[in-house]
Amino acid sequence: MNARRGCSCAFATCKNISGLTENKISFFRFPKDVESVLYIDCISKLWIEACGRQDLINKTFEELHRNYRICSLHFSQKMFLNDSRNRLQPNAIPTKEPSFHNSQTMEAISSDVIPNQPNCQEPLKA
């Protein structure tokens, strides 16, 4: 009987796989259920950019949502709705580095306010 393999984190440099990771790490699908297509396009692009995966650029929203996950280590504490780190804010954006690697980067990113409906024509603050 073959053991079922869990989903892996979509980050290019992350090796976390659900079910095989000892720590309590949650995995999150790419965003899909958003009212505005423009907004979901912006958010998805930010998630793809953070992942460092050029191969994801041409995927549809549905493909990204259905097939790719990002582990909870790539989100700052402020991006979660609870202390269990298993529910994200609706406008959560992953960070390029796992949260335990670079606390200064995490603080800088998490202190930025991501608006609910960003204007995709304007660059986001780094």
Q: Each residue of 88-118: pLDDT tens digit?
A: 998 899 987 765 543 343 344 334 434 444 4
The pTM score is 0.69
- Please give the residue range of the domain that contains residue 32: 1-98
In a domain, 77, yes or no: yes
Contact predicate 3/12, CB 8 Å: no
In a domain, 115, yes or no: no
In a domain, 23, yes or no: yes
In a domain, 58, yes or no: yes
pLDDT of residue 6: 77
- Which tens digit of pLDDT belongs to each residue from 10-39? 999 999 998 876 668 899 999 876 566 667
Give the count of domains, the chain.
1
Contact predicate 33/77, CB 8 Å: no
